[in-house]
Amino acid sequence: MSAISSAIALLSACDTTPRDEMARWTPERLYTEAKEEAAAGNFEKAVKLYERLEGRAAGSVLAQQAQIERAYYLWKSGEKAQALSTLERFIKLHPTSPALDYALYLQGLVNFNDNLGLLGNLASQDLSERDQQASRDSYQSFRQLTEQFPQSTYADDARVRMNYIVNSLAAYEVHVARYYLRRGAYVAAANRAQQAVQEFQRSPSTEEALVILAQSYDRLGLTELRDDAERVLKANFPNSTINTDVFGRRKTPWWQMW
């Protein structure tokens, strides 16, 4: 009798277990609920609903929309890696999707904004003073967007951000070159300055890169290369505001130019 009673009790417990109400929701209902959670700022709940919708409506346009919006709210909730993973999967699986331009744009935004985190703000840093891999990834996404979809709604903003990233990358190279120069690592300083000059010729940072390049060559005793750098500097920046007499022929220490 005790065994039968235990079995009955177990069955009763199963009957009182809360059922998954969402199991009966239509894909449209799931999407509506996800949008409402997102609008209320409940990004974590929204992400879970979008994920469920992806499985429920697999192969449909609604599933694609859910995947894109899920990536967006993953990013907004601070889950950058998951957001990028979701976007990479979307771009790979749906190369002809009408939302591909937005996916590329969002991919660029995720990496672009990641460079301006809390620690960067506290330290008064900008993009040029931090690791630039995310910026390079962001640039590639924006570039793909503007090349594949030049008329996209997001193309103009992407171009503005690309220009900002290029200037940032150039400033970063100069920032590193300046660091090496101050510490007497002249070969390393020359290499980074040369990279800035070659890769980012139209950047505002090119002027200082040429000055550092000439300084580095001067300290290394490479007078011909120094003179070449000085000629390029004067040809391209005839009205330069940076003191160009930085080749060991001035009274003040070289480091006082900063």
Q: pLDDT tens for residues 208-251?
A: 999 999 999 999 999 999 999 999 999 999 887 775 444 444 33
pTM for the predicted model, two decimal places:
0.75
Residue 34 tokens, joined:
């996800």
Residue 202 is predicted with a pLDDT of: 86
103, 111 Cβ separation under 8 angstroms? no
Residue 256 is predicted with a pLDDT of: 37
User: 126-130: long-range contacts (C-beta < 8 A, 24 or more apart)?
Assistant: 126/168, 126/171, 127/164, 127/165, 127/168, 127/171, 127/172, 128/168, 128/169, 128/171, 128/172, 128/174, 128/175, 129/172, 129/175, 130/172
User: What helix, strand, coil percent values describe the chain, rounded to 5?
Assistant: 75, 0, 25
**What are the boundaries of each domain within the chain?**
24-87
Angle at 236 between CA 234 and CA 239, to 5 degrees: 60
How remote is the C-alpha of 74 from its chain's centroid? Answer: 15
- Helix 155-182 / helix 186-199 crossing angle, nearest 10 deg: 160
Q: Which residues contact 83 (CB under 8 A, 6 or more apart)?
A: 71, 72, 74, 75, 110
Q: Which residues contact 97 (CB under 8 A, 6 or more apart)?
A: 64, 90, 103
The per-residue pLDDT for range 122-147, each reduced to its tens digit, is: 344 554 555 688 899 999 999 999 99
The per-residue pLDDT for range 19-50, each reduced to its tens digit, is: 567 778 888 999 999 999 999 999 999 999 99
Q: Which of 51, 8, 44 lies closest to 30, judged by CA?
A: 51
Q: pLDDT at residue 253 above 70? A: no
Across all residues in the chain, what is the average pLDDT?
83
Residue 201 is predicted with a pLDDT of: 85
The per-residue pLDDT for range 46-95, each reduced to its tens digit, is: 999 999 998 888 889 999 999 999 999 999 999 999 999 999 999 999 99
Angle at 135 between CA 134 and CA 140, to 5 degrees: 100
Helix, strand or coil for residue 136? helix
